[in-house]
Amino acid sequence: MFAAATLTSSLKTPKGDPIPLRGVDFKVTIRDVGAWVTVAQHFQNVEEQPIEAVYSFPLPEGAAICGFEVRLGERVITGRVEEKETAFAQYDEAIQEGHGAYLVDEDRPNIFTISVGNLLPQQSVVVQIAYVQELDTLPDGGRFVIPTTISPRYVPQEQLQTASASELLHINPPRVLGSLPYGLTIQVDLAASSPIRSVESPSHPIRCLLNGDQATVELVGENIQLDQDFVLSYALQHSHRPHILLAKDMGSEGYVAMVNFWPQLATQHRQPQEFIFLIDRSGSMGGESIRQAKMALLLCLKSMQPGDQLNVYGFGSSYEKLFERSQPYTVETLATATQHAQTLDADLGGTEVYRALEDALSHLGNLPTNIILLTDGQVSNEQEVIQLAQQYRGRARIFTFGIGRGADELLIRGLARATDGAAEFIFPGERIEPKVLQQFARMGTPYAEQVKLDWGGLTPDWVTPRVLPPLFHNQRWTIFGRFPGLHPTQVRLRAMMAGQEYTWELAIDPEQMDATPVVPLLFARSALRDLEEQPMPDTGSRQQDRQQANPTHREAIVNLGCRYQLMSSATSFVAIERREEGDKTAEMKLRRVPAALTRGWGGSVASILPAFSPRNTRRLRLACARAMGDVMGIRASSFSGEFLRAEGIPDLFSLLVLKQQFDGSWSWDEELLNAVGWSWDQVTQMMAALGTDTEEARNIIATLLVLQVLQRDFRERLVEWWLLAQKAKQWLRNVSVTPPLMEPEPVDKVERWQVWFSSVASGI
């Protein structure tokens, strides 16, 4: 069930008191593959008594929080990282003595809580947090995200019995409907490695100035609410190039290297695989999220090949599965799964992802297995789910899709990282197809075995990630190394894939040194994540419980966090405002700052409900049905135009993808004819030129035309339709009809068909 989340009016705390947070400002500097971010939170006590303001907020799960300042007018107090218990003790002691105290603590790697203690009447303070993070890079650009909201988290019954009240309040803070008195501003300074072609945000209105390889971006509008993640995407004129970033280590005479490869791998015909789809059908997925998940599932089903196996799970408070065990991918099972996908609804209550994943992992077949999870990830037991997945590393890979405006980044990325999979995020307004089919392309890539990195004679004292990540074609592969000394050399990456050895090289030049602390901080954050996600005995529901059971492990986290002054699961930031005797007071009132409810959370009706459990799921469904109509209960048996438009997919590309048949071919109908601009008369002329009018021959013409349209009109989206084209070409090789003879005659049968089609079609 959900921990109780209080919904309040927009101007008061749950008890009717003024909200002390007045605004949140982000300033972002993006350079290459990293970003430096400062977050300023403005607090003001408008009451007649001292208060303690407590505010829980999200940050990226890979962020390295490296700075903490408190500004009181012209006065600046710099915070320090201390071991968690020490920081709490210093905070409490200062409060008891009447001083001001400020604490930042990690509840999850992506959820933090700031406590502003003993804020005096009419006093204002600005709390500034700094962090660095790696960017998500694409072959031709990048993506930067600022989480702004903590979506309501489902708390399993077992965790409710063991978690502390403060932990539950921090991961499920009070929430409001409507506008909050505090708003959001964002300014971004972007400098790229090549000229910038475009910058866009699918989440917010922005103003952007482009100047070659630089851009400045800011939000447009007043009182912008923190109710959805800020997403910024940019495209470059040239692809990223492999490179090494070097920097001097912090607090030592050593050095840190950040090695970035973009491996180019040969295309291989993939072998049959097992695909298990886990679809989140909890109430929080209501509305556009479940519609996006359904479309993603349909695209995945279309991209499978004969010889594969499939199964579909739906999970909420309980879980359902389409087949008891995975079944072969056939005409019949595809039809069954397609019909099932179109009827899915967000009607299963809470988000019990652990049990569904556990059942799927316990029924793995003999084929290489890919588990595809589509979810908003709004759960509280992320670490337990990730630890479960770690047990099956090497047996199954998990590929995750985070759906919606406030998807839980920790769960989405953590599951993929734990199993050598990959993560994607689908924000409302973004096109689904490229992300879905790029993931399938990754799954189809033969697994890169025996990945090794040769440091060229250098001896690192620490390499992170601890387990070398897998290689995906044209996807950034990053590793960090820390060295006591440095000299010019060549770093070599080697891998075996499908029996073929690959080697890539990059030069280390000690003369090229980055003067900023970004590289050492990113190294330290990666090393902390290695320690925090290292499999340990499950001695409790929380990560801290497991660390207490292994003092040496916790000590390593504390030492690393303190050395690099980074937040972690075992360290916190604390700052003390020393006051004169006359200003001291030990009496204060607690004010928990409410958060905005994630926009669109759970659909339009579910979003006004504070929490729900399996007992009232039926009542929730009835309420949604009355208010929204049966918009989610689509019962279409085929991909009609009405269905496509209802799912928000009216474009030609999506229609072509979804109309491909099980065997890889396309078949004529009025909708396909209209979409590609052909007539039945043109089809008849093509049949006459071929000299036959069988159904197979008609499908040959339809398939050749669709392939031509994809190549002609969607060349830049090749990664999206490449797998579908391979299915189609294999079908063309196997058809019984023989392409007409031509001079000179192409060797490959598919090429013969394409040359013949182009020749005849040009004359019609």
**Tell me, what's the pLDDT at 535?**
67
pLDDT band at 15 (very low <50, low <70, confident <90, very high): low
Q: Is the pLDDT of residue 222 over 90?
A: no
Say if residues 283 and 350 touch (Cβ distance below 8 Å).
Answer: yes
Average pLDDT over residues 659-676: 91
What pLDDT digit, counting tens, does each position of 708-720 carry? 999 999 887 787 7
**Tell me, what's the pLDDT at 649?**
45
140-154, 157-171, 215-229, 622-636: least confidently modelled range: 622-636
- The phi-psi region of residue 122 (left if phi > 0; otherwise alpha if psi is between -120 and 50; otherwise beta) is left
Q: Is the pLDDT of residue 271 over 90?
A: no
Could you tell me where the beta strands, DSSP code E, fall in 325-422? 327-328, 369-375, 396-403
Say if residues 257 and 478 touch (Cβ distance below 8 Å).
Answer: no
**Tell me, what's the pLDDT at 376?**
86
102-116, 515-529, 591-605, 718-732: least confidently modelled range: 591-605
The upper half-sphere exposure of residue 298, i.e. CA atoms within 13 Å in the direction of its Cβ, equals 31
Highest mean pLDDT among 240-244, 357-361, 442-446: 357-361
| 53: number of Cβ within 10 Å | 26
Q: Is the pLDDT of residue 457 over 90?
A: yes
| 742: number of Cβ within 10 Å | 11
Q: Is the pLDDT of residue 287 over 90?
A: no
Helix/strand/coil percentages in the chain, nearest 5: 30, 30, 40
How distant, in Å, are the alpha carbons of 7, 107, 361 from that of 113?
A: 19, 7, 35
Total residues found in the chain within this entry: 764
SS3 465: coil
The upper half-sphere exposure of residue 742, i.e. CA atoms within 13 Å in the direction of its Cβ, equals 19
**Tell me, what's the pLDDT at 69?**
97
Q: Helices in 464-542 by DSSP H: which ranges?
A: 518-533
Average pLDDT over residues 245-267: 89
Say if residues 519 and 134 touch (Cβ distance below 8 Å).
Answer: no
> Residue 136 and residue 380: Cα distance in Å, rounded?
25
What is the torsion angle, in degrees rounded to the nearest 10, for the CA atoms of residue 457, residue 458, residue 459 and residue 462? -140
pLDDT band at 469 (very low <50, low <70, confident <90, very high): confident
Say if residues 517 and 508 touch (Cβ distance below 8 Å).
Answer: no
Cβ-proximal residues to 449 (8 Å cutoff; 6+ apart), any chain: 495, 496, 497
Say if residues 343 and 633 touch (Cβ distance below 8 Å).
Answer: yes
pLDDT band at 167 (very low <50, low <70, confident <90, very high): confident
Please give the mean pLDDT across all residues of the chain: 85
103-118: burial string, b at 16+ Cβ within 10 Å, e else: bbbbbbbbbbbbbbbb
Using the structure block, give the residue that is written with the tokens 């500004």.
Answer: 71
> Residue 442 and residue 179: Cα distance in Å, rounded?
41
What pLDDT digit, counting tens, does each position of 459-468 carry? 999 999 998 8
Say if residues 54 and 119 touch (Cβ distance below 8 Å).
Answer: no
Helix (H) / strand (E) containing 754 = helix 749-761
What pLDDT digit, counting tens, does each position of 568-579 carry? 999 999 999 998
Using the structure block, give the residue that is written with the tokens 């993506």.
Answer: 143
Q: Is the pLDDT of residue 590 over 50?
A: yes
How distant, in Å, are the alpha carbons of 134, 351, 428, 434 from that of 259?
A: 13, 38, 33, 27
Handedness of CA 548, 554, 558, 559 (dihedral sign): positive
**Tell me, what's the pLDDT at 533?**
84
Question: Percent of the chain beyond pLDDT 90?
Answer: 54
- The angle subtended at Cα 53 by Cα 50 and Cα 59, nearest 5°, is 160
> Residue 632 and residue 80: Cα distance in Å, rounded?
51
> Residue 374 and residue 401: Cα distance in Å, rounded?
5
Q: What is the CA radius of gyration of the chain?
A: 28
Which of 233, 203, 283, 201 is closest to 610 using CA atoms?
283
Cβ-proximal residues to 716 (8 Å cutoff; 6+ apart), any chain: none
Using the structure block, give the residue that is written with the tokens 């708390």.
Answer: 155
Say if residues 256 and 247 touch (Cβ distance below 8 Å).
Answer: yes
Say if residues 370 and 270 touch (Cβ distance below 8 Å).
Answer: no
Average pLDDT over residues 171-198: 88
**Tell me, what's the pLDDT at 548?**
54
pLDDT band at 637 (very low <50, low <70, confident <90, very high): very low
Q: Is the pLDDT of residue 70 over 80?
A: yes
Strand ranges across the sheet with 448-454? 448-454, 489-497, 500-508
**Tell me, what's the pLDDT at 746?**
63
pLDDT band at 117 (very low <50, low <70, confident <90, very high): very high
Q: Is the pLDDT of residue 700 over 90?
A: yes
What pLDDT digit, counting tens, does each position of 395-436 carry? 999 999 998 888 899 999 999 999 999 999 988 878 777 788
**Tell me, what's the pLDDT at 416?**
94
Which of 427, 425, 433, 424 is closest to 472 using CA atoms?
424
pTM, 2 dp? 0.81
More confident residue, 41 or 427: 41
Q: Is the pLDDT of residue 597 over 90?
A: no
Q: Is the pLDDT of residue 211 over 50?
A: yes
Using the structure block, give the residue that is written with the tokens 């953590």.
Answer: 414
